[in-house]
Amino acid sequence: MWNPDGSGRHPPVDLSTRSSSSPTALLSSIRAQREEREAQRRLEAAATTVQKVWRGRSAASAVRADILAQLEAGVSVQEGARALLLLLRGRGERARVGALLVKWTTAALARGPEGQVFGALVAEDAFAFGILLASILRFVSTSPRNETSAKLLTSLEAFLKPAAYTNLPPDCMSEVVAALGARAWIETLADITEALATAKRRHPLLLPVIRLVTAPTALVPLTTESPLLPPLVHTFLAIPALPSSIPLASLTHLSSSLPIFSILLPASAANPLLLKQGRLADELGRTYFLANLATFGITGGMLQRTGAPGKRAWMSVVGAILPTLGEGWSAWTESSVSGAAGVAAAAVMDVDDGSEDDDTAPIAPERPRLPLGIAKALALLASPQHIGTLASYATSSGSLADFSTYALNILVAFRGSPKWEGTLDALLDGNRGRALIKLLWREGVRGKWNNAPDQWSQFSKNPQKSMLLLLTYVYNHYLFLTPDDEFFSANNPLSLDEVLELSSTWRDLAFWGYLNGVGQGVRGAGTEADRRLFTQGVVRVTERNGRRKFAPDEYWVMDSNLRDGFIDAVKYEDELLELETRAANDSHGIARPQQSANVRQFMSRRQLANSRISPRLGLLNNMPMAVPFSTRLQVFREFIRADRKRLGIQRYGRARHRVSIRRSHLAEDGFRQLNSLGPGLKNIVEITFIDQWGNEEAGIDGGGLFKEFLHNLSKEAFDTERGLWLANLRNELYPNPHSYAKESHQLEWYSFIGRLLGKALYANMLVDVTFAGFFLAKWLGRQSYVDDLASLDQELYRGLIQLKNYPNPEELSLTFSVTENEFGVAKNVDLIPGGSEIPVTAENRHEYIALVCKYKLDWQFAAQSEAFFAGLSDLIDPRWLRMFDQNELAQLLGGEETPIDIMDLRKHTTVTGFEDERTPAMFWRVVDSFSEEQKRQLLTFVTSCSRPPLLGFAQLNPPFGVRNGGSDKSRLPTASSCANLLKLPDYRDEAMLRSKLLQAITSGAGFDMS
């Protein structure tokens, strides 16, 4: 019955089929319950483990307490030994344990009726006795500076005296020593030595510790099979500053008792894995190891006194470790040994020419600062004394290959530091250096290398590789240091024929290195460093040949190995490089062709050489002399043609710059209107001349008017009276170093002149200007040498050569400074900080000479050169110019410095408009009778340049032409220089023709577009 208040109602029933919870919630609930049960099981297991450990420790403590009580109550020596072995496995109660150890060792060392008491222990179980001794030493290592440790160390010495084992079986001593080796005897002593040396320098307890190092070797002589040998090498000898951390008596004992040169080093040489274990597994340990060896071997004279096996082992072990040291190791080791001498040496370091812009060089890791003593010890490895000792040994013992490998490893380790150059100086020193070069040449190079690709592809396997590489390093350094007069004298260790043969070996290997690529040096092809080294050698020899010819023409050309289509292949590589550069630039938002070209043009020679898509470009930019000059010239013009196409420049296109030039203000107008164009100067420039009355001169510029403008402007810009340029004794130009030339407006002029010369090269126009050799070398990015100074200041060059050979340079009272005069005021310039206070001596004169050259050839022109080359590079990619040497660049710029070949000119001249051959025949007879100066005046009159084009008149474009200029015989000949055309009236008298032609070409008038 219905109840109004709702009482007695049944609970509601949900008759729907919907689940009360989702499957996801159900799974989560099940997972949570399972994790809760697992956590509970882990908690119970942990509680069980804790209980087990607690019970075990409690039982062990009880046992330990019982043993301590028994020992303190007194037991026999044998029982005490067994109890102490158990006791020393645990920790705690150190004072009680130490007292018991002192008590037991005293009892064990007491004498009985049959000798010392511990002898019975040894006879019973020698190995266990050795373990006990090692355990006592481990106990000492936990606190080595207290009185207990001192007593125990003394006792351990007594236990290891050979006299105590005289009545025991012979194998007992071997068992004891084996146990010591098994229980880290040497490693523990190394830890104690470090702890004592850190706490107090030369701690008195170091005396017994060091004696304990060699004590086992008194029982059993050390052999290559001894278990103590590996830790002696890879742990004990790697203790930081070991020789300087121990007392002098200990050092003397160690030097006389530890067989470093007779056992340790030969064993390490036979088993190189030793040098990768223990503390030698990391660079810091290897560094300490080398420093300790240097102190024992070099400072202590052990290397000098040891025989041939010891020296060979030294070279093998030290030589094996040096290549494993990381990037920047030499700079790190020298960071504590720096000073004025180091600054000077670093400033003039002999470097390879291809190392600039090296973005691929690994970054040196951060390292802790090295103590001064260790740094000085490491420097001994590259000291003249050390290098001289081993070089003398190598030249007299037949170990040249081993020494070559060792010296190369020294050079690799000290690369980038003054010690690198010091090592080369030591190898070159005096008669020994000459003998070394000759021996390396005979044993490692002469007749042993041929021009075959497999010589490079299998280079790393060649047994003569190390000798060739060392000779290359040393002779390259000789070329760097030696002026031309000495190179061409009898003092040269090699004859000129031998130099040429050596350079051809370098050329062959480097050539195949560029074309076939480099390897990693472990096996197969040579490395990039090998290729760069050989390239450097070829470049330095060819530079000598450029200054004073001693090689046949095209001696270094590899024409037979340059396959057909070389130029097409170079163009293809350049296109691929352009595509790669554009792709890289697109990712950085650089899209314009000119911007892309600007990014690409500053690729270094090394970057080009290592590019996987540009082997021939790498060859052209690093070792261009291997390619015929005519081929390189054609490649240069192909590069320009491709650049024009890329920029959309057309000779007859409408896009051009139109410029009006007043003849009376030619330089001013040219600078004002053209300098701001920058790279835009690559486009066609159309010149309109304004005469003295303000009228435009007749004619349309087809190139000839710009040639005239360039010709006249160059005469004005390069006039030494203007102040931008100076001339040497041979009338060759170089930038004025005066401060006036460094003013901002003058630097703008240098940039403008650079752009104009770039335009001349870009447009294949010759400019009648000659630059000094050292300045042309800067165009090519070459390093300056002392012989380059001759092209700047012949008197200073001779003075420096005299200084180089002067027996007592101290008498000259020179300092590391130079005096400059400006406007009659003398100014002293330091070559290094504080240079005016540093005297020039026999030891540092080479640095002084090099610094003077660097100042004169580089530093004083730095701003002017930078401005000039900035303008030049707006139009000419520097890598295009690196395909040439200095002499070839001079020819590229101004034509060949050779007498004008009239036969060649006549062969490639077009003659038109004459009724018969009478006038042309007279013309050629007259020209043939001209002096060389008159011939050059004729050439200037017609082509605007006094020098013949490169590779002859066949290359002149347009060809040289002679056209009938009319029948009016009173007129003078005229020229259209844009067309290289001479307009010659139809003279019928040879004397008149000669007179009129000379009058025209010597008048100095402007070019008339008649």
Burial class, 735, CB count within 10 angstroms (exposed 0-12 / middle 13-18 / buried 19+): buried
Question: Considering only CA atoms, which of 775, 787, 745, 792 is closest in space to residue 862?
Answer: 775
| Residues in CB range of 996: below 8 A, 6 or more apart | 971, 972, 973, 985, 987
Indicate the helix (H) or strand (E) that contains 106.
helix 94-108
Question: Considering only CA atoms, which of 499, 464, 497 is closest in space to residue 478?
Answer: 499
Rounded CA-CA distance 499/504 in Å is: 9
Going by the DSSP 8-state scheme, the letter that residue 786 receives in this structure is: G
Per-residue tokens: 479: 């070329």
Rounded CA-CA distance 51/44 in Å is: 11
Q: Is the peptide bond before 958 cis (omega within 30 degrees of 0)?
A: yes
Rounded CA-CA distance 584/277 in Å is: 45
What one-character-per-residue DSSP string does 327-360 give? TTHHHHHHTTS--HHHHHHHHT----TT-TT-TT
Judge whether 313 and 355 are in contact, CB under 8 Å. no
What one-character-per-residue DSSP string does 682-745 give? GSEEEEEEE-TTSPBPS---SSHHHHHHHHHHHHHHT-GGGSSEEE-TT--EEE--SGGGGSHH
CB atoms inside a 10 Å sphere around CB 321: 21
Going by the DSSP 8-state scheme, the letter that residue 768 receives in this structure is: -
Instruction: Output phi, psi for 674, to 5 deg.
Output: -110, -25
Question: Considering only CA atoms, which of 126, 118, 131 is closest in space to residue 180?
Answer: 131
| Residues in CB range of 178: below 8 A, 6 or more apart | 127, 130, 227
Rounded CA-CA distance 330/333 in Å is: 5
Gyration radius (Cα) of the chain, Å: 42
Rounded CA-CA distance 115/126 in Å is: 16
Distances (CA, A) of 33 to 37, 293, 523, 693, 896: 6, 66, 62, 109, 96
In the chain, the N- to C-terminal Cα span, in Å, equals 137
Rounded CA-CA distance 162/168 in Å is: 11
Which residue matches tokens 């835009």? Answer: 680
Question: Considering only CA atoms, which of 840, 844, 842 is closest in space to residue 808?
Answer: 842
Going by the DSSP 8-state scheme, the letter that residue 874 receives in this structure is: T
Active site residue: 172, 853, 945, 978, which one? 978
> Max CA-CA distance within the chain?
157
| Residues in CB range of 991: below 8 A, 6 or more apart | none
Judge whether 748 and 867 are in contact, CB under 8 Å. yes
Rounded CA-CA distance 406/419 in Å is: 15
Rounded CA-CA distance 650/656 in Å is: 9
Going by the DSSP 8-state scheme, the letter that residue 1003 receives in this structure is: S
CB atoms inside a 10 Å sphere around CB 992: 14
Q: How far is CA 269 from the centre of its chain?
A: 29
> Is residue 853 annotated as a catalytic residue, yes or no?
no
Rounded CA-CA distance 981/969 in Å is: 19
Q: How far is CA 893 from the centre of its chain?
A: 32
Give me the active site residues, please.
Answer: 978
